[in-house]
């Protein structure tokens, strides 16, 4: 199994007023392709910052973030945008769906940067929505869907482009237990079926236990739990 | 995706769409309405000037009398010492008509037009002799035997007298006066006419006020009436320059060169209506009956023609005892760029004359039309700027605050791989559509405002000096001049052409396009601000700030 991520000596600092905050402190991490990783840790420990580094949303202050053989730290903004468009899917705690677009259009929005033909884009979006069990909710606006359904749309949106990795930031944080399990089952199934890497940031130990590997990040330091 | 997203945003964020569009619409509607009213005012000014000077006239040349220090600028109306029939009490009855050069006007030698036409910048020139027909009929007391004339008549600009002027049609009532002094001589006392000649009047024939002026004197044993109207002697061979260029034939025929020497006349339609005259009837001028061969009207809808009656130039000169002279010369330049040079040449050629361009004539328009024009130019312009600025500000604030509110949305789209320029394009497009909607709604509201304005149709008054400038200081004629004749003084006001104009707002395609462009500009401006804000969003920060 090849490595999807190779992170070494990554430091990320922020300025907060006159203070310098160290969000990531010399983090080293290797993630194999198709692996299921759970990242836990206290609030403000650096979970989201690490996820942003992995998601090509931000660059480290120092160190290397190798993704599929390319150093994201040295990539230009357009290149990072291109990598996100093609290879990285995001799932957020608050779903982050565009409120004015229907479920189907939200999924299509993730395919828009790929210059896919409109008909093909629509076909793929419908297929993915059906695969997450929302074949009958495609034309509903987010406000007309339950929390679990909205998260399924978000997962479909992340999956539609057939990414190399899905980065999920507290994907079950706003869901009840039953729905939480459904969502985790769905993510796990998609990972296995499509051979993608799944990295979940979560506070929920129940969710974290489903991962191949559990990591903990606290005060910017990354450690392996088990 | 672009159009789908745009459509969804506009429909699903109705409140923002409505507020921003309506904000822009109100600004645009105000600008649209002010522009349309301003255009209406300009059209009215043009109509006033066109009716007086003609469509193709670039320059008008006149001469103004410089009154002497004593103010003796009036003209005599000498009814003749032995004229009229005496009754048993010695009172005399008169019915006389005179054609006189419009008071305050000097004449040119008729040959002047040849000199003017010879100038290289002149494309065409026409001349006219502007006259006033004054008809006096009634009874005068026996002044010679001391039967006092009890009417002491004054006028607007008269230095003496206190005549009461009232009535819409210029009726002058002369009440009994304390002045019981006998006035020797058979003279017409100084009188005044309040309205003027020529006086193009309201556009609406229903409101049309005849230009005829009537004076009545009642006092002692006197009882008479005075009627004045304007007469213009014209050369019908030149019709593309001068007052006739803005007229059209309503019935009968126009005057032609073959009418030279004939007592024929063409009359203004409004005058014909007011006096119930038709083709074939006669009009009396200087005690001669002129056959009416045609009726003309202004080719512009909102004004009357320059004169009540038009006759051949030779007859006008003959009957006014002004042979080979004219009072007005109308000049058309070879091009608009030649006008300034032509004015200089004409001033050199005719140093005593008043040479007025259309711009000078336009600036001579005064009265409430001028007030309306100034109001629109000043208050309207600033009000439009303020409202439009507020509308633009609202659009910008709503758009930028919309971007702030949608930080998570745009951050997510960037995380999904959307390029900044695609998001900027989306924001800008929404603003542009707001602008287009605002423009369309604004023009709609503007049209409703114009309809309301035109339904109200305010009547404003426009006054122009017949000299194309300020009226000279006439008046002050001596009342009851002794000896051979009294003076018709107090005609200062008569030297102004007072016109009632129904103000109509009208929107031209230019105004419509400008209004929509303005709204579009507002939309683009808001889009630029909103787009810049969206472009600056970094996905990590956008998502972090939301978290």
pLDDT of residue B169: 35
Q: Which CATH number goes with the domain that contains A65?
A: 3.40.50.300
Enclosing domain of residue A65: 3-224
Q: In this predicted model, what pLDDT tens digit does every residue of A71-108 receive, in sequence order?
A: 998 899 899 999 999 999 998 888 889 999 999 999 99
CA B248, CA B255: separation in Å to the nearest integer? Answer: 12
Give B-chain residues touching A94 at CB under 8 angstroms.
408, 546
Other C-beta atoms closer than 10 Å to the C-beta of B253 total 13
Q: In this predicted model, what pLDDT tens digit does every residue of B396-449 receive, in sequence order?
A: 887 788 778 888 888 889 889 998 888 888 888 988 898 888 888 988 998 898
The ipTM, to two decimals, is: 0.92
Chain A residue with the nearest C-alpha to that of B8: A100
Distance from CA of B4 to the nearest CA of A (A): 8
Q: Is the CB of A113 less than 8 angstroms away from the CB of B417?
A: yes
CA B92, CA B94: separation in Å to the nearest integer? Answer: 7
pLDDT of residue B202: 34
pLDDT of residue B207: 34
Q: Is the CB of B413 less than 8 angstroms away from the CB of A109?
A: yes
Helix (H) or strand (E) holding B460: strand B459-465
CA B403, CA B420: separation in Å to the nearest integer? Answer: 13
Q: Which of A48, A112, A118 sits opposite B544 (nearest CB)?
A: A48
Distance from CA of A152 to the nearest CA of B (A): 16
Q: In this predicted model, what pLDDT tens digit does every residue of A20-32 receive, in sequence order?
A: 888 899 999 999 9
CA B296, CA B266: separation in Å to the nearest integer? Answer: 7
pLDDT of residue B517: 84
* Mutation target vs A (from B414, B416, B418, B546; most A CBs, 10 A cutoff): B416
pLDDT of residue B423: 87
Tell me the average pLDDT of chain A.
Answer: 90
A112 touches chain B (CB under 8 A): yes
Residue of A48 and B376 predicted with greater confidence:
A48
A78 touches chain B (CB under 8 A): yes
- For chain A, the domain total comes to 1
pLDDT of residue A110: 92
Other C-beta atoms closer than 10 Å to the C-beta of B542 total 23
Share of chain A above pLDDT 70, in %: 99
pLDDT of residue B379: 65
Low-confidence ranges of chain B (pLDDT < 50): 69-75, 146-213, 215, 217-219, 466-496, 546-547
pLDDT of residue B306: 79
Instruction: Single out the residue of B437, B438, B458 nearest to residue B390, CA to CA.
Output: B438
pLDDT of residue A109: 92
pLDDT of residue B42: 73
CA B357, CA B57: separation in Å to the nearest integer? Answer: 9
Distance from CA of A106 to the nearest CA of B (A): 10
pTM exceeding 0.80: no
pLDDT of residue A10: 92
pLDDT of residue B35: 81
Residues in chain B whose Cβ is within 8 Å of chain A: 1, 4-5, 8-9, 11-13, 408-409, 411-419, 422, 538-540, 543-544, 546-547
Residue B180 in tokens: 């019981």
- Where does A173-213 have alpha helices with state H? 177-194, 205-208
Distance from CA of A91 to the nearest CA of B (A): 10
Asked if residue A176 has pLDDT above 90, the reply is no
pLDDT of residue A108: 94
Beta bridge partners of B197: none
CA B217, CA B222: separation in Å to the nearest integer? Answer: 7
């Amino acid at each position: 199994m090849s490595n999807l991520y190779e992170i070494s000596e990554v430091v990320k600092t922020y300025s907060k007023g006159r203070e310098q905050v160290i969000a990531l402190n010399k983090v080293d991490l290797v993630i194999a392709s198709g692996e299921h990783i759970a990242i836990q840790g206290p609030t403000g420990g650096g979970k989201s910052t690490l996820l942003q580094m992995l998601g090509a949303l931000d660059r480290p202050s120092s160190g290397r973030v190798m993704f599929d053989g390319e150093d994201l730290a040295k990539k230009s903004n357009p290149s990072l945008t291109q990598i996100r468009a093609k290879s990285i899917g995001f799932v957020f705690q608050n779903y982050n769906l565009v409120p004015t677009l229907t479920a189907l259009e939200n999924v299509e929005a993730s395919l828009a940067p790929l210059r896919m033909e409109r008909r093909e884009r629509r076909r793929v979006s419908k297929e993915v929505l059906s695969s997450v069990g929302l074949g009958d909710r495609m034309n509903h606006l987010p406000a007309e869907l339950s929390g679990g359904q909205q998260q399924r749309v978000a997962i479909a949106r992340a999956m539609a482009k057939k990414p190399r990795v899905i980065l999920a930031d507290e994907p079950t944080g706003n869901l009840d237990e039953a729905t939480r399990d459904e969502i985790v089952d769905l993510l796990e199934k998609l990972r296995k079926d499509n051979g993608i890497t799944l990295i979940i940031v979560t506070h929920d130990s129940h969710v974290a236990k489903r991962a191949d590997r559990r990591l903990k990040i606290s005060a910017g330091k990354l450690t392996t739990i088990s | 995706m672009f159009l789908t997203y745009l459509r969804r945003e506009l429909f699903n964020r109705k409140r923002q769409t409505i507020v921003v569009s309506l904000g822009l619409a109100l600004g645009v509607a105000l600008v649209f309405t002010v522009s349309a009213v301003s255009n209406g005012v300009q059209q009215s000014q043009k109509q006033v000037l066109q009716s007086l000077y003609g469509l193709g006239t670039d320059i008008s040349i006149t001469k103004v009398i410089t009154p002497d220090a004593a103010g003796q600028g009036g003209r005599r109306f000498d009814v003749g010492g032995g004229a009229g029939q005496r009754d048993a009490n010695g009172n005399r009855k008169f019915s006389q008509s005179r054609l006189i050069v419009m008071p305050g006007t000097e004449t040119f030698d008729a040959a002047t037009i040849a000199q003017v036409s010879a100038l290289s910048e002149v494309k065409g020139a026409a001349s006219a002799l502007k006259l006033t027909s004054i008809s006096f009929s009634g009874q005068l007391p026996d002044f010679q035997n001391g039967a006092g004339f009890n009417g002491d008549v004054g006028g607007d600009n008269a230095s003496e007298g206190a005549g009461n002027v009232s009535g819409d049609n210029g009726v002058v009532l002369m009440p009994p006066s304390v002045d019981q002094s006998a006035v020797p001589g058979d003279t017409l006392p100084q009188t005044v006419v309040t309205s003027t000649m020529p006086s193009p009047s309201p556009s609406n024939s229903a409101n049309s006020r005849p230009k005829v002026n009537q004076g009545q004197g009642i006092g002692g044993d006197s009882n008479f009436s005075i009627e004045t109207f304007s007469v213009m002697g014209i050369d019908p061979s030149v019709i593309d320059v001068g007052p006739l260029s803005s007229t059209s034939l309503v019935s009968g025929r126009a005057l032609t060169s073959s009418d030279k020497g004939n007592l024929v006349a063409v009359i203004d339609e409004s005058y014909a209506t007011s006096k119930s005259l038709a083709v074939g009837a006669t009009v009396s001028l200087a005690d001669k009956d002129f056959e009416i061969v045609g009726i003309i009207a202004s080719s512009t809808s909102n004004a009357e023609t320059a004169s009540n009656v038009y006759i051949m130039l030779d007859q006008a000169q003959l009957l006014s005892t002004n042979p080979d002279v004219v009072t007005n010369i109308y000049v058309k330049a070879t091009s608009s760029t030649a006008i300034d040079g032509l004015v200089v040449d004409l001033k050199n050629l005719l140093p005593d004359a008043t040479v007025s361009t259309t711009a000078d004539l336009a600036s001579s328009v005064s009265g409430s039309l001028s007030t309306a024009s100034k109001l629109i130019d000043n208050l309207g312009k600033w009000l439009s700027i303020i409202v439009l600025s507020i509308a633009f500000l609202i659009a910008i604030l709503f758009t930028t605050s919309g971007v702030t509110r949608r930080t998570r949305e745009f951050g997510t789209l960037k995380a999904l791989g959307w390029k900044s320029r695609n998001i900027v394009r989306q924001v800008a497009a929404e603003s542009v559509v707001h602008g287009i909607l605002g423009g369309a709604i604004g023009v709609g509201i503007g049209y409703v405002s114009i309809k309301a304005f035109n339904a109200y149709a305010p009547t404003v008054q426009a006054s122009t000096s017949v000299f194309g400038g300020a009226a000279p200081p006439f008046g002050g004629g001596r009342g009851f001049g002794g000896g051979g004749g009294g003076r018709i003084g107090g005609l200062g006001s008569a030297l102004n052409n007072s016109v009632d104009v129904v103000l109509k707002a009208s929107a031209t395609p230019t105004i419509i396009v400008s209004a929509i462009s303005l709204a579009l500009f507002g939309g683009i401006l808001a889009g630029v601000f909103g787009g810049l804000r969206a472009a600056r969003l970094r996905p990590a920060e956008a998502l972090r700030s939301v978290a």
